[in-house]
Amino acid sequence: MAQKQFKAESKRLLEMMINSIYTHREVFLRELISNASDAIDKIYYKALTDDSLTFDKDSYYIKVVPNKEERTLKIIDTGIGMTKEELETNLGTIAKSGSLAFKKETDLKDGYDIIGQFGVGFYAAFMVADVVTVVSKALGSDEAYKWESKGAEGYTIEPVEKDSVGTEIILKIKENTEDENYDEFLEEYRLKSIIKKYSDFIRYPIKMDISGRRPKEGSDNEWEDYVEEQTINSMVPIWRKNKSELTDEDYEKFYAEKHYGFDKPLKHIHISVDGTIRYNAILYIPEKIPFDYYSKEFEKGLELYSNGVLIMNKCADLLPDYFSFVKGMVDSEDLSLNISREMLQHDRQLKLIAKNINKKIKSELQSLLKNEREKYEEFYKSFGRQLKFGVYSDFGANKEVLQDLLMFYSSKEKKLVTLEEYVSRMPEDQKYIYYASGESIERIDKLPQTELVSEKGYEILYFTDDIDEFAIRMLMAYKEKEFKSVASGDLGIEADETEKETDSEENKELFSYMKEVLSDKVKDVRISKRLKSHPVCLSTDGEVTIEMEKILSQMPDNQNVKAEKVLEINANHEVFQSLKAAFEQDKEKVNLYTKLLYNQALLIEGLPIQDPVEFTNDICKVMV
Ligand code: ADP
């Protein structure tokens, strides 16, 4: 029979599974049982929406059968089964194709990451078996097929006899090696404890034939061997359990088992509501950003169960975009099982649940911020950007919900601070919340525009994310304090009396001359009130700041929005005296100086110089 090849990526993954030095090999069983449970879910779900099928609860189960003599371990389920095509597509390729390409080889050495992040599920079987056989009969089909693989070389598929619908996975357990003991996966007690540990909440019975010895009935000294089928799992889903019965580890295990993320969750939220709406939910705030989070491929959503049956993998309606990083599941008895996706969107119950969850997430984040600051900052580094997008989008409709969750780097504290913290320590004479925008903290630290505000002793928030200024524009104010860019025309700070140089008639002439030299590049040339040690800077009049201009110009639908730039000159700087002297004697020089100053201001802003060659030539002219 012809051997078929695995898809390239699957093959790579398989090889890693086979060779993995992963110590938690036992999770292979969790993966296979979870697949079996999903397969039963599918048949159960079908039965509920299809009258020709009946779902007799007792005939649906998973059975684990070890056989020491043959060195095999069988995992049998009465689920929906797979057709020949399904065996081919489901087991010949990993579902999450593409995701592997993202990872470096070194990251994948450890099997845990692979299993956790991509949910390679089925392939985990190759961590303990050198031959994997899958015998399956699909619901509604008369034929059964056998899929078999000895590893990376490929697999075969052939017809086979099987009476009942469902799937049997047969693992030929590897021989022990010097360092590895595989026999344990054939031991009843060991299998039992693995099932208890990872699959206790599976909704269907996981059965095993447990053997033992007992006194023979009616006899005092005779014993007999017996074999008895037992259900190993408690079948109570974790979300139906009492919070007090559960440990952090239980929640972490559930997170891993469900493949919600490859990290450890930063926080879990267990909700049980039993009022006008009834639902249970387990939600997680991940610690790390999923690799595709800020990409188009990322799909938000929670798993949705109706009374214990999974009806949707990613119900997007349960989460607002700004909390799209939340993972987890919701189970409600009040949701109809055979509700369609379209109807779900309009479902009143679902809307209520979503609203409720939203509130809960917010309050949990707030308490994290209040009580576990470090953890919150870690969270914020990953997902703060999403919260800021939330403030900005929908025309600011959610700003009230989100504003107290925002943080920005503070010039004074040298760390992230909240708006509440900023406002609460504002000196009485300070009118605005000041911010400075730039590429990085280091760059903003050096911005000349911050000089006056800093000298006044006011705190400045550093905006380094491109969304920051846009979000803040949506907020407009926090606790009635407006936001103000340190580069804006009017800083709302009274200039010191001692600053003598004003816009006298004489200066006015100079400035209008300079303005002419620069023509439409700037709106105005002025004496600066904010500069202390630097000779020159740009500020802006109007709504659009220079940072905003930069960001908008990179947008695909570039509308060519321009900031109204003002060239500000520091009258207390020696350069200004040179300018004035030149204005009296040598207009050519003024032209040169003006261009130089303007280009310097551009450089400080991180803006491109239109003609760099001319600029360097101009500098040379000054030098010789
Ligand atoms: P995942 O379960 O994450 O999709 P797997 O590699 O574990 O990835 O399984 C791939 C697919 O094979 C499953 O999505 C399912 O369609 C199918 N499958 C696996 N095991 C079974 C089973 N016991 N019964 C029916 N289908 C199964």
What are 106's two structure tokens? 């070194």
Work out the pLDDT band at 310, boundaries 50, 70, 90.
confident
CB of 156 sitting under 6 A from ligand 1:
no
Q: What is the mean pLDDT of residues 232-259?
A: 90
Given a cut of 90, whether residue 335 has pLDDT beyond it is no
Q: Ligand 1 centre from 94 Cα, in Å?
A: 10
Q: What is the mean pLDDT of residues 112-130?
A: 70
Regarding whether 331 and 309 lie in a shared domain, the answer is yes
Of 231, 266, 296, the position where a domain reaches its end is: 231
Question: Which secondary-structure segment (H or E) carries 409?
Answer: strand 407-410
* 362, burial (CB in 10 Å: exposed 0-12, middle 13-18, buried 19+): middle
In angstroms, the CA 376 to CA 2 distance is 56
- Residues 155, 147 contacting (CB under 8 angstroms): yes
List the CATH number of the domain containing 102.
Answer: 3.30.565.10
Q: What is the mean pLDDT of residues 349-362?
A: 94
Which has the higher per-residue pLDDT, 91 or 116? 91
CB of 99 sitting under 6 A from ligand 1:
no
Regarding whether 86 and 212 lie in a shared domain, the answer is yes
Query: Which residue is listed with tokens 């909240």?
Result: 418
Say what the pLDDT of residue 342 is: 65
Q: What is the mean pLDDT of residues 457-478?
A: 94
Among 96-110, 298-312, 530-544, the range of highest mean pLDDT:
530-544
Instruction: Please provide the average confidence, as pLDDT, over all residues in the chain.
Output: 88
Residues with Cβ within 8 Å of 604's Cβ and at least 6 positions away in sequence, in order, are 447, 448, 534, 536, 537, 538
Pairing mode, strands 524-527 and 309-315: unpaired
In angstroms, the CA 78 to CA 312 distance is 21
List the CATH number of the domain containing 616.
Answer: 1.20.120.790
Say what the pLDDT of residue 23 is: 61
What DSSP string describes 463-514?
A: E-STTHHHHHHHH-EETTEEEEETTBS--S-PPPTT------HHHHHHHHHH
Regarding whether 266 and 148 lie in a shared domain, the answer is no
Regarding whether 282 and 213 lie in a shared domain, the answer is no
Say what the pLDDT of residue 111 is: 43
Say what the pLDDT of residue 59 is: 86
Q: Ligand 1 centre from 624 Cα, in Å?
A: 77
Q: What is the mean pLDDT of residues 484-505?
A: 70
Max intra-chain CA distance, the chain: 127
β-bridge partners, 284: 268, 327
Regarding whether 254 and 148 lie in a shared domain, the answer is no
CB of 14 sitting under 6 A from ligand 1:
no
- Residues 144, 162 contacting (CB under 8 angstroms): yes
Q: What percent of the chain has pLDDT over 70?
A: 92
Secondary-structure percent of the chain, ordered helix, strand, coil, rounded to 5? 40, 20, 35
Counting runs of H as helices and runs of E as strands, what totals does the chain give?
20, 22
Given a cut of 50, whether residue 489 has pLDDT beyond it is yes
Please give the backbone phi and psi of residue 461, each rounded to the nearest 5 degrees, phi first: -90, 135
Is residue 147 one of the residues assigned to a domain? Answer: yes
Q: Whose C-alpha lies nearest to ligand 1, atom 13?
A: 90
User: Among 122, 133, 310, which is best to mutate for testing ligand 1, by the most ligand atoms less than 8 A from CB?
Assistant: 122
Among 60-69, 104-113, 308-317, 342-351, the range of highest mean pLDDT:
60-69
CB of 82 sitting under 6 A from ligand 1:
yes
User: Among 90, 171, 206, which is best to mutate for testing ligand 1, by the most ligand atoms less than 8 A from CB?
Assistant: 90
CB of 167 sitting under 6 A from ligand 1:
yes
Regarding whether 260 and 366 lie in a shared domain, the answer is yes
Please give the backbone phi and psi of residue 287, each rounded to the nearest 5 degrees, phi first: -90, -40
Given a cut of 60, whether residue 113 has pLDDT beyond it is no
What are 522's two structure tokens? 């700037």
Q: What is the mean pLDDT of residues 110-135?
A: 73
Helix, strand or coil, per DSSP, at residue 238: helix
Q: Whose C-alpha lies nearest to ligand 1, atom 23?
A: 36
Of 212, 231, 250, the position where a domain reaches its end is: 231
Residues with Cβ within 8 Å of 147's Cβ and at least 6 positions away in sequence, in order, are 87, 88, 91, 133, 134, 135, 136, 155, 156, 157
pLDDT digits (tens, 9 = 90+) for 52-69: 777 777 789 999 999 999
CB of 111 sitting under 6 A from ligand 1:
no
Q: Ligand 1 centre from 35 Cα, in Å?
A: 5
Residues with Cβ within 8 Å of 31's Cβ and at least 6 positions away in sequence, in order, are 115, 120, 121, 122, 124, 125
Work out the pLDDT band at 562, boundaries 50, 70, 90.
confident
What DSSP string describes 529-566?
A: SS-SS-SEEEEEESS--HHHHHHHHHSTT------EEE
Regarding whether 243 and 227 lie in a shared domain, the answer is no
In angstroms, the CA 370 to CA 409 distance is 17
Instruction: Say which DSSP state 203 is in.
Output: S
Say what the pLDDT of residue 389 is: 94
Atom of ligand 1 nearest to the CA of 81: 25
Q: Report the side by side order of strands in the sheet with 129-137.
A: 154-160, 144-151, 129-137, 166-173, 72-77, 62-67, 206-215, 223-231
CB of 75 sitting under 6 A from ligand 1:
no
Regarding whether 169 and 66 lie in a shared domain, the answer is yes
Work out the pLDDT band at 616, boundaries 50, 70, 90.
very high
Q: Ligand 1 centre from 122 Cα, in Å?
A: 7
CB of 90 sitting under 6 A from ligand 1:
yes
Regarding whether 213 and 295 lie in a shared domain, the answer is no
In angstroms, the CA 326 to CA 320 distance is 10
CB of 121 sitting under 6 A from ligand 1:
yes
Say what the pLDDT of residue 376 is: 97
In angstroms, the CA 188 to CA 211 distance is 8
Query: Which residue is listed with tokens 């009274």?
Result: 494
User: Among 13, 35, 146, 259, which is best to mutate for testing ligand 1, by the most ligand atoms less than 8 A from CB?
Assistant: 35
CB of 117 sitting under 6 A from ligand 1:
no
Regarding whether 252 and 212 lie in a shared domain, the answer is no
Q: What is the mean pLDDT of residues 607-621?
A: 92
Q: How many domains does the chain have?
A: 3
Range of 619's domain? 504-542+562-623
Is residue 299 one of the residues assigned to a domain? Answer: yes
Of 340, 357, 377, the position where a domain reaches its end is: 377
Q: Ligand 1 centre from 589 Cα, in Å?
A: 77
Atom of ligand 1 nearest to the CA of 42: 25
Regarding whether 168 and 242 lie in a shared domain, the answer is no
pLDDT digits (tens, 9 = 90+) for 564-604: 999 999 999 999 999 999 999 999 999 999 999 999 999 98
What are 232's two structure tokens? 């190993």
- Residues 200, 168 contacting (CB under 8 angstroms): no
Is residue 440 one of the residues assigned to a domain? Answer: no
Regarding whether 215 and 244 lie in a shared domain, the answer is no
Work out the pLDDT band at 108, boundaries 50, 70, 90.
very low
Work out the pLDDT band at 11, boundaries 50, 70, 90.
confident
Is residue 202 one of the residues assigned to a domain? Answer: yes
Helix, strand or coil, per DSSP, at residue 607: coil
pLDDT digits (tens, 9 = 90+) for 140-162: 999 999 999 998 888 999 999 99
Q: Ligand 1 centre from 240 Cα, in Å?
A: 25
Atom of ligand 1 nearest to the CA of 166: 24
pLDDT digits (tens, 9 = 90+) for 365-421: 999 999 999 999 999 999 999 999 999 998 889 999 999 999 999 999 999 999 999
Atom of ligand 1 nearest to the CA of 169: 23
CB of 147 sitting under 6 A from ligand 1:
no
In angstroms, the CA 491 to CA 586 distance is 35
